[in-house]
Structure 1
Amino acid sequence: MIDVQRLRVLRAVAEHGSFNRAAAALRLTPSAVSQHVAVLERSLGAQVVARSTRGVTLTQAGRIMVQAAESVTAELAHAQQQVDRLGTGRTQLTVATFTSGGRFLLPGALARLTAAHPDTVLHVREGEPEDSLALVRQGAVDLALAYHFDGPLPGQVNQNSGVEWTALLKDPLHVVLPVSHRLAGRAVLDIAEVAAEPWVLGCLKTEAYLRRYAERAGFSPEMRGTTTDYFFARSLVAAGMGISLVPSIALAPELAGVCTVPIKEPVPIRHIGAATLSRRRNHPQLTTLIHALQEQAAAVDDTLPSRREGRSWRSRV
């Protein structure tokens, strides 16, 4: 019989990359973590981690067991929810979201959900996509509103992970300039035209994406500032610190002193979607919430600057 606690320890080792860091996260000693892993290996008859001076990595058997650990954890969390419902008669639903997506998509969708299922108890928590998607896999949250740029989905979301991705919205990024900028009146611009400009950005992931995008355009952007808030980044643009790259849904509310200009093809896009456990796809409240998010995304899509006009637009000074 495989011990659930040992699976939990192995998952922590995989997440943190060493016995010491896993021990700190679990509030155990490194020796206790090592013993749990050793006993698990003996019970399986297979090595689950490869040890080296640089830390530990999972073997193929270890990866199988970590995936099993996530499934077991998710099932136990779901069972706890069902038990809780026996006592209260109310369904608990936890949603994780990133800030700008939650601001524009969640309120309307949650209003539709509570209208359809008034006895549902809702919890919302903010988090970065990779963290929220991990919580979905573990069963700690029921749905994660997340995003990714080009490339694969974050957080090991694939056909083997047990997590289902529902695409909601393509969110194109725009260049934000001071209204006095020489390119402020342009209907569209090539990203290479602003290669020499300093940048201030509202998200670390946007910075990483801009660097990849700029590399393809043949330049390396100069960073003057990175914040965790797109409105603050636009405020710094208005103050003359540089220019910015901002997703469409984060361009509201309007801000005096800045101008937004679309980027010519290939347009950088942030792909927004909802992640849930595949085996819970028929959960009534989750089904209602996903449909509500799709309706809300369609409504938001019609209001984006790129949909309203095929030209640049300025905030009133």
Structure 2
Amino acid sequence: MDFTTVSLVALRVFREVADRGTLTAAATALGYTQSAVSRQVAALERAAGTVLLQRRHDGVRLTEAGRVVLRRAGVVLDEIDATARELAGLPVSSGAVRLGWYTSAGAVLVPRALAALRRDHPGIAVTTREGSTPALVRAVRAGSVDLALLASAPPFRPFDAESPPLVVRTIAERGLCLAVPAAHPLARGDYVDVADLRGQRWVSSPPTAGEKPLGVWPGLDERPEIGHTARDWLAKLHLVAAGCGLTTVPASLAPVVPPGVRLLPVRGGSPEQRRVVLARLPGPLPEPVARLADALHAAALGSPAPG
């Protein structure tokens, strides 16, 4: 085992692979060829004297040794980046926090929390990234984000089986709603019966590896007719307003629902509750991260963040 010859490039590539989940995705993010990424990982494994990544059909998975190298690599790279900023005469902020968030959180929850944090704690600099749940969980494991805002659906299983388990904090729990065109027959009442959802046309997100498409009411006993697919929640809601179909949305999106759309609860069938959770690696929580977590919690509850 000899790490004296390990380059910073190899460490950065390794962290990117752990974050993205595949060699191909890491190569795309870094602007490298896949063979170049493979060579850097192989060089790091030779230095470690052991396998760091398990290659599988659905991507890569860190071995126990890989998790150790990733943890140490993160510390080294963060220190190198801070040194470069200091030498360049740029401020080295001790209040920097990196946040990952699930798609619909960017419509209301994240902006509300960041506005409150900027008002009460202007010295904390937050950078954010949107992503799917599997991608954000990998980013937490890779140390690319300090905190991940995730949506969880029943039966509320752990987000992954890696060790150590992530520290998870529930900050809100709400029901799933149905977005209906205002002129649709289902919009006439104060709720929709689940039996009336048979044969409806849906606006849904495209399927993503490791996640179910969002937009179709869960548990329908038929193959749904999906007329339109869109990743962006606002686009889906505007398609609903145009009469193109129905979609599901978390109740938290009520403040940004466009004209021409009614949000209604659905009765019958299994309750469709959704949890909003914060996930992070175990260990002491730095104050800036704790401040952001409190701001997100307060925003989810619709109350001011504590000072």
Q: For this structure pair, what is the TM-score category when the shorter chain's length is used for normalisation?
A: 0.7 to 0.9
| Residue of structure 1 in register with 2:192 after alignment | 189
Q: Which has the higher helix share?
A: 1
Which stretch shows the higher mean deviation, 102-111 or 224-233?
102-111
Determine whether 1:73 maps to 2:73. Answer: yes
1:293 is aligned to 2:293: no
Gaps of 5+ in 1: 301-317
State the shift of 1:194 in Å: 1.0
Secondary structure of the structure 2 residue equivalent to 1:166: strand
Letter in 1 for 2:293: I
| 1:1-317 equivalent positions in 2, closer than 5 A | 1=1, 3=3, 27=32, 30=35, 33=38, 37=42, 40=45, 44=49, 63-80=63-80, 83=83, 88=91, 90-91=93-94, 92-150=96-154, 151-154=156-159, 156=160, 160-161=164-165, 163-201=166-204, 208=213, 213-214=218-219, 217-264=220-267, 265-281=269-285, 283-299=286-302
Q: Which runs of 5+ in 2 are unaligned?
A: none
SS in 2 for 1:101: helix
CA 49–299 in structure 1, closer or farther in 2 if over 3 Å, else same: closer
Q: Deviations over 1:39-76 (max 9, x none)?
A: 736853x5556779x69866xxx611232233123323
Counterpart-to-counterpart distance in 2, 1:183 and 1:290: 38
How many Å separate the matches in 1 of 2:27 and 2:256? 45
Between the aligned residues of both structures, percent identity stands at 24
- Following superposition, the deviation at residue 104 of structure 1 comes to 1.9
Distance apart, 1:222 and its partner CA: 0.7
DSSP-derived class of the 2:255 partner: coil
What is the Cα deviation at residue 196 of structure 1? Answer: 0.6
Could you tell me how far 1:197 is from its partner in structure 2?
A: 0.7
CA distance in 2, matches of 1:190, 1:157: 37
**Alpha carbons 1:96, 1:144 under 8 Å: kept:** yes
TM normalised by structure 1 equals: 0.72
Aligned residues: 289
The corresponding residue for 1:311 is none
TM-score where L is the length of structure 2 = 0.73
Q: Distance in 1 between matches of 2:212 and 2:253?
A: 15
Q: Which has the larger radius of gyration?
A: 1
